[in-house]
Amino acid sequence: MKKNPQTVQFTINGESKTFITEPDEKLLDLLRREGYKGAKFGCGQGTCGSCTVLMDGRAVYSCLLYAMQVEGHEIRTIESIGTHDNPSEFQQELIDGGAVQCGYCIPGMIMSATALMENETHFDDETVREYMDGNLCRCTGYEKIWSALRRVLDRQEAQNTQS
């Protein structure tokens, strides 16, 4: 098929950038091509959640978005959350809890958890499941990931109650 380059401009991890893309290119492919390799290709059909990023603060599957769709939006990837030397609170809990095996699903898990923590103030189990049920893990059986997240949420909820 004839190539038809177009440009798309959006904010990525706080920086406004313009990218050359194709109408058919998925956001995930653009992100990985441009070096944001934390978002992973898993199923490619919006099931596993390993490609989860935030669009305007909401968790979305970047494999089910055309890059052109995010024009003018604010995209956040796992690269905005923490670093190897300075992990986020949830990342540290995952490490401390031994909740990571192959690690492939973890960036998506963290992005969904970030959406949860930034959009909700009460973290009952049903709400947490709602935010996290679009992320699959084939290694851990979820228990340690859930426990790590629960510890962070319980602390955050306690802080919310105090303030």
33 binds another protein per the rule CB under 8 A? no
Q: Which long-range contacts (CB under 8 A, 24 or more apart) does 34-41 make?
A: 36/12, 36/77, 36/79, 38/77, 38/78, 38/79, 38/107, 39/77, 39/78, 39/107, 39/108, 40/104, 40/105, 40/107, 40/108
Residue 118 makes contact with another protein by CB under 8 A: no
CB atoms within 10 A of CB 68: 16
Of 57 and 98, nearer to another protein (C-beta) is 57
Residue 61 makes contact with another protein by CB under 8 A: yes
Can you tell me the distance from the alpha carbon of 163 to that of 77, in angstroms, rounded to the nearest whole number? 29
Question: At 36, phi and psi to the nearest 5?
Answer: -90, 75
Told to check if 69 binds another protein by CB under 8 A, we report: yes
Site residues (CB under 8 A) for another protein, limited to 72-111: none
125 binds another protein (CB under 8 A): no
Using CB under 8 A, which of 10, 90, 131, 146 touches another protein? 131
CA 124 to chain centre: 21
Closest CB to another protein among 31 and 132?
132
Q: Any idea what the Cα angle at residue 94 is, between residues 97 and 84, rounded to 5°?
A: 125
- If one asks whether residue 112 binds another protein (CB under 8 A), the answer comes out as yes
46 is a site residue for another protein (CB under 8 A): yes
Please identify, among the stretches 45-53, 84-92, 137-145, 148-156, the one whose residues bind another protein according to the rule CB under 8 A.
45-53
Residues that bind another protein (CB under 8 A): 1-2, 4, 6, 23-24, 45-47, 49, 52, 55, 58-61, 63-66, 68-69, 71, 112, 115, 129-134
